[in-house]
Structure 1
């Protein structure tokens, strides 16, 4: 199974705001970013399309106009930042943020979730897709956190290194799960 992951386009949210699972709309540059994604996908045979149900992913999945039903899956959502959602990062008490930043794999923001939980959602999604789409090419429109978590899973690396990967808006990342071990074909194309 090949998995092409697309990070949603840029958002209509001020810089420096923690937004996680908040349902933020796309920015005014959506159509130009959509054109770039469409060009990157030109000639690809896609067998199935999955998307996070948050509007920034759903809008992109629908706008791509592919000949496949779009299945929305809650497991593909971004990290839930709990009480920090829609707060400026600078307004989060520094001592709380610093403790979380050192342990985000296993520590959740207040009323949020851990990156380990996010990664487990992603792994469960992949395992189900391997059963349903073993020899197919899937397109998945999701979020930067989920893409990082799946890269870490494929590379068998600790979650602590997640933010060493920069995942651009409207970028493609491809993974191949057809062999004995997962392979990363490209990141940020």
Structure 2
């Protein structure tokens, strides 16, 4: 299976705000960004298309393909719990620093860990690998999810997640056709 992951476009939210699973809308530049994303994919055909159910992903999925888009809850971004829609600067520095050193296994209050995010992402990938072993699947999702899937494929600790740059509207492609998954490209 070939898996093409695309991150949603930029958002209508002030810089420095934690948004995670909050259903934030896309920025006013959406049509321009969606056209650019579509141009990156124009040479590809897909056997199945999946999207996070959050509107920032759903809107991009519909801009890329018009029908047969399946929404999957497992593709959502990290749930930041009580930190959702708070300015990062409003979170006590010692609390944030403790989380930042342990985000793989430490959840924000009433949120989830990156390990939990990765578990649901890997379960999704394993399921679609069974459903489309020879197919090409497009997934519209979030930066955290793309990083978690990449870390899993590379058998890498989650502490290294943020070594990957995953820009808004960027495309990452993986190939699961051989015995070992291959990363064809990241953040195109």
Which residue of structure 2 aligns with residue 173 of structure 1? 172
Which residue of structure 1 aligns with residue 43 of structure 2? 43
How far has the Cα of 1:119 moved from its partner?
A: 0.3
Pair 1:77-2:82 in alignment: no
How far has the Cα of 1:180 moved from its partner?
A: 1.1
Output the CA distance in 1 between the equivalents of 2:180 and 2:115.
20
Output the CA distance in 2 between the equivalents of 1:165 and 1:135.
27
Output the CA distance in 2 between the equivalents of 1:94 and 1:45.
46
How far has the Cα of 1:134 moved from its partner?
A: 0.5
Output the CA distance in 2 between the equivalents of 1:161 and 1:9.
24
Output the CA distance in 2 between the equivalents of 1:188 and 1:82.
28
How far has the Cα of 1:44 moved from its partner?
A: 0.5
Output the CA distance in 1 between the equivalents of 2:165 and 2:86.
22
- Give the aligned length: 188
What TM-score do the two structures reach when normalised by structure 1? Answer: 0.98
How far has the Cα of 1:166 moved from its partner?
A: 1.3
- CA deviations 1:13-64 (Å, max 9, x no partner) are 0000000000000000000001101110112111100000000000110111
How far has the Cα of 1:108 moved from its partner?
A: 0.3
Which residue of structure 1 aligns with residue 5 of structure 2? 5
Report the 3-state secondary structure (helix = DSSP H, G, I; strand = E; otherwise coil) of the residue aligned with 2:4: strand
Which residue of structure 1 aligns with residue 127 of structure 2? 128
The aligned runs of 1:10-21 (5 Å cut-off) are: 10-21=10-21
How far has the Cα of 1:65 moved from its partner?
A: 2.8
Pair 1:93-2:92 in alignment: yes
Which residue of structure 1 aligns with residue 117 of structure 2? 118
* Structure 1 moving runs of 4+ over 3 Å: none
Gaps of 5+ in 1: none
The root-mean-square deviation of aligned C-alpha atoms, in Å, is: 0.7
Q: Bigger CA drift: 108-117 or 56-65?
A: 56-65
What TM-score do the two structures reach when normalised by structure 2? Answer: 0.98
